[in-house]
Amino acid sequence: MARSLSGFEYFGVKTLKETGYEYVYDAVEKPLIFAQTAAFLEVISEAMSPISATLPQISSRLYVSWGILWSFPEVRSHILVSSLVISWSITEIIRYSYFGIREAFGSVPSWLLWLRYSTFLLLYPIGITSEVGLIYNALPYMKESGKYSVRMPNKWNFSFNYYYAAFAFLTSIVTCLGRERKHSLNQKSIGQRRTSTVAPSLRTRFIGGLALWL
């Protein structure tokens, strides 16, 4: 997972630098889709975080990855794709590094502890703004195309409007903002109280294990 995340960050930044933000999505599409879809396994296993903390975030990312970027090519060249890719990848590289090292050695170095519980103050607003902006920019194309909408009459006697569902999803994102921020701040307070140094007897194992893990 960490390699996939670092891979789409590398290709995204490289493309952004060489050809411009309009081509970032084309460069990262496959690793981006794979990484965000595979993250759903975390919700099933609950291996790293409580499901109440991970489900809203992963659901939002899956929706933006599949329901917006994959479904509506018109928004793939938007500059917000670049900020989305960078914020997602940096956040998750730090997160998976933190949990991987903590599980392997029982503790983490202080700099990684600081990154884990502090960078969200910058990266979370960038990521959520990018998600909301891309959904908003896709709305006209949803309405015009009618993609994924089900209209009456039909044999199921059922109707569904993807355009209005997107509005509902935007509302849910905004509603969850305060709760997610509060949860992150609580986690930061807990993390700052934890022992953040690696025991001297583990330093050699730490370096060697980290090299193998990467």
pTM for the full model?
Answer: 0.78
The reported pLDDT for the residue numbered 203 is 43
**What gap in Å lies between CA 110 and CA 62, rounded to an integer?**
32
Exposure string for 90-105, b = 16+ CB within 10 A, e = fewer: bbbbbbbbbbbbbebb
Question: Is residue 177 over pLDDT 70?
Answer: no
Q: Is residue 124 flagged as an active site residue?
A: yes
pLDDT tens for 89-141 read 888 888 888 888 888 898 889 899 889 888 888 888 899 999 999 999 999 99
Most confident residue range from 47-56, 98-107, 203-212: 98-107
pLDDT band at 39; cut points 50, 70, 90: confident
Which of 124, 136, 141, 148 is labelled catalytic? 124
Most confident residue range from 6-20, 25-39, 171-185: 25-39
User: CB burial class (10 A; 0-12, 13-18, 19+) of residue 148?
Assistant: middle
| For residues 68-91, average pLDDT | 93
| For residues 15-19, average pLDDT | 74
pLDDT band at 162; cut points 50, 70, 90: very high
Residue 143 and residue 96 in contact, taking contact as beta carbons nearer than 8 Å: no
pLDDT band at 56; cut points 50, 70, 90: confident
**What gap in Å lies between CA 201 and CA 203, rounded to an integer?**
6
Question: Is residue 81 over pLDDT 90?
Answer: yes
The reported pLDDT for the residue numbered 163 is 96
Which of 9, 98, 131, 163 is labelled catalytic? 131
List the chain domain ranges: 2-213
The reported pLDDT for the residue numbered 205 is 44
